[in-house]
Chain A
Amino acid sequence: MSGLWHGIVDFVVGDDLGIAIAVLVLLVLAAAAVHFGADAWWLLAAGVPVALWVSLQRARRTAREAS
């Protein structure tokens, strides 16, 4: 059963758990902003590329360390 769960998580989350966590944090922040009546569309539009850029930088660092 745990093998199946690991498989599903690995399938969706892929190579970098950081991306999934960043998306979760962004959505929680956006939901909170909406709850307090703020416009939050810009938060996702700007936060998603930042999350990917951080992940790409991490991959680059890993590649550099491996060299």
Chain B
Amino acid sequence: MTGNLLVFLGAALASAVEMVEALTIVLALGVTRGWRAPLQGAVAALVVLAVLVAVLGPALEAVPIDVLRLIVGSLLLVFGLQWLRKAILRASGLKALHDEDAAFAAEVAAAQAMGITPGRDRYSLVISFKSTLLEGLEVAFIVITLGANQGATAVAAAGAVVALVAVVIIGALVRHPLSRVPENTLKFTVGVMLTSFGTFWAGEGVGIDWPGDEASLAALILLTVAWSLLFARLLRRTPTVVIA
């Protein structure tokens, strides 16, 4: 039950982070060039992602659990550490924070520079499709891997969909990039969850018996939060140049 809740939350938070970024691009295209083509592109990408999850999720659940835990756990661990690395570098000031307003302005400028031709707006369609697909691929990967390992692909997918719907509704209401969303905090949280799940499952995959079985997952999460915050604090002490 707790495992499923964590899977739901992990997928929802990852989806929120990525969909905020996709929303910025779709909004920029929509307000500059009209809504029809960007919306069509975004919906087409979401359909592709849904098919990917629907096909690969259940297929992975059929793989023997030890093999699955080793492979998927290792991938999740690497993936989670990358998210955590980026979030810590941003939190410590070594990497620039992702700025939705700046991304929006850059996308609006690019969209205005492209002339609008009569008929279907292929530029908006392609950019919107590509952006939503690329941002969504990370979410699909997380949904498939988290879900398959826990035997709860539907739960993970539900988490991603709930976050997607929330981002779309808020985006439609404010019609402005969601720059107030604490993106780096969400990224940090997802990184912690993926790293903890990945460590636990990859460990089980190589035959490790975790003390207290599933209970050690909670301990791993707390431990990961603790050392991640410590790392961000230690890095913040030494000011250096900010990587863009």
A35: chain B residues at CB < 8 Å are 207
Q: Secondary structure of the A side of the interface? A: helix
CB of B85 within 8 A of CB of A59, answer yes
CB of A52 within 8 A of CB of B74, answer no
* Nearest A-chain residue to B202, judged by Cβ: A27
| Contact with B199, one of A14, A15, A44, A56 (Cβ below 8 angstroms) | A44
B54: chain A residues at CB < 8 Å are none
CA A39 – CA B216 in complex, angstroms?
14
CB of A15 within 8 A of CB of B203, answer no
B220: chain A residues at CB < 8 Å are 45
Closest Cβ–Cβ distance, residue B144 to chain A (whole Å): 13
| Contact with B85, one of A15, A23, A39, A44 (Cβ below 8 angstroms) | A15
Contacting residues of chain B (41-99) with chain A, CB-CB under 8 angstroms: 70, 74-75, 77-79, 81-82, 84-86, 88-89, 94-95
Closest Cβ–Cβ distance, residue A32 to chain B (whole Å): 9
CB of A66 within 8 A of CB of B243, answer yes
A60: chain B residues at CB < 8 Å are 94, 235, 238, 240
Contacting residues of chain A (26-67) with chain B, CB-CB under 8 angstroms: 27, 30-31, 34-35, 39-41, 44-45, 48-49, 51-53, 55-56, 59-60, 62-64, 66-67
Interface status of A11 (Cβ within 8 A of chain B): yes
CA A63 – CA B213 in complex, angstroms?
41
Interface status of B115 (Cβ within 8 A of chain A): no
CB of B199 within 8 A of CB of A48, answer yes
| Contact with B231, one of A11, A52, A63 (Cβ below 8 angstroms) | A52
Contacting residues of chain B (214-244) with chain A, CB-CB under 8 angstroms: 216, 220, 223-224, 227-228, 231, 235, 238, 240-243
Task: Tell me the count of chain A residues lying within 8 A, CB to CB, of chain B.
Answer: 34
CA A59 – CA B242 in complex, angstroms?
11
Interface status of B195 (Cβ within 8 A of chain A): yes
* Nearest A-chain residue to B86, judged by Cβ: A15
CB of B243 within 8 A of CB of A59, answer yes
B235: chain A residues at CB < 8 Å are 56, 60
CB of B216 within 8 A of CB of A41, answer yes
CA A15 – CA B220 in complex, angstroms?
24
CB of B78 within 8 A of CB of A67, answer no
Seen from chain A, the residues whose Cβ lies within 8 Å of a Cβ on chain B are 11-16, 19-20, 23-24, 27, 30-31, 34-35, 39-41, 44-45, 48-49, 51-53, 55-56, 59-60, 62-64, 66-67
> Could you jot down 28 A-B contacts, CB within 8 Å?
A11-B137, A12-B75, A12-B79, A14-B78, A15-B82, A16-B82, A19-B78, A19-B85, A20-B78, A24-B74, A31-B207, A39-B209, A40-B206, A40-B208, A41-B210, A41-B216, A44-B203, A49-B224, A52-B81, A52-B231, A56-B85, A59-B89, A60-B238, A62-B243, A63-B94, A63-B240, A63-B243, A67-B240
Known: A27-B205, A44-B208. 15 other contacts (CB 8 A): A12-B78, A15-B85, A16-B82, A27-B70, A27-B74, A27-B206, A31-B206, A31-B207, A41-B209, A44-B203, A52-B85, A53-B231, A56-B89, A60-B94, A63-B241
